[in-house]
Structure 1
């Protein structure tokens, strides 16, 4: 079963258009594009870990509608902008502040926030987080899975692990 990761979708939160300069004309276009991107990669039998800040602003009913429209078995790692409407939406399989799991034989530590150190760091464990909106310089084995870092669709662990190598190679190719 494929496992996907994402964070900081901020459905219904107009601040992301201004603060994060997301490339959408308005909030309706933003939300529709994220729903379309999610639905294009995630199948109903897939597992998705959303690392916080799912929605802020829409009614509890609208949050539940958005969540129900997204395919997959969905887990929420709580973010600082996740209110009662998000936390109590019935389509979450689990809601927690922290999780540890193994995907593709890699030990993962999941939290909305980036850590300086984490359980298993000395044994190769990887920290996946959101919150920083691609503004935090990562340390080794730490990855921002938010849409501002990885794009609008949930991403696989393999894509996350190669994302930094691709950015590093692109950066080196433009240096004199």
Structure 2
């Protein structure tokens, strides 16, 4: 069965990201190899992966080599480091700045859940007051999570360098203390 995955901020080929984000790799080559391995341990060839930006900071030829090793259909939300990725457009199903994803899921009252996908965290977003989720990257785990907002960082630095599944997203969101602002007696 086809699965849906979310991830961000791999920074493939970025020599300084290990230092900047305190990643446990001795070299950029070791990091790239491990990130590819962890991606493919979870993602199957038929799966959909929503990458929320900053795929790589390297030459477009090097990034193309890396992208060809990754399983799945990759949908890219632009981050602030996509020069090489823009040169590899054919590897992505599409490249956008922002996307509203609707996932069919009978666990939700309406039979679906909407998710706003963007590289950057937002405090409010389209239909956030109705329970729409927002997933982001960019902050490399440095932005404290707000338990009252239905959003969180899907970047690899926050999830042991793995993409996370739709099921994992639902589990994380179920632990949030968010309540709809229009519920009687709720004053936000």
Counterpart for residue 122 of structure 2: 115
Counterpart for residue 164 of structure 2: 155
Unmatched 5+ stretches in structure 1 = 167-176
1:130 is aligned to 2:137: yes
What does 1:9-158 align with in structure 2 at a 5 Å threshold? 9-56=10-57, 58-83=58-83, 85-89=84-88, 90-103=90-103, 104=105, 105-139=112-146, 140-158=149-167
Structure 2 Cα separation of the partners of residues 16 and 165 of structure 1: 31
> Would you tell me which structure has more helix in proportion to its own residues?
1
Structure 1 Cα separation of the partners of residues 28 and 164 of structure 2: 22
Counterpart for residue 170 of structure 1: none
What TM-score does the superposition give when structure 2 sets the normalisation length?
0.83
Shift of 1:88: 2.6
SS at structure 1 position matched to 2:18: helix
> Is the 2:150–2:173 Cα contact (8 Å) retained in structure 1?
no
What TM-score does the superposition give when structure 1 sets the normalisation length?
0.88
Alignment RMSD (CA, Å): 1.5
Aligned length: 164
Q: CA 1:135 to 1:161, structure 2 compared with 1: closer, same or farther past 3 Å?
A: farther
Structure 1 Cα separation of the partners of residues 41 and 173 of structure 2: 23
Shift of 1:165: 7.3
- Bigger radius of gyration among the two: 2
SS at structure 2 position matched to 1:158: helix
Unmatched 5+ stretches in structure 2 = 106-111, 176-188
Shift of 1:10: 0.3
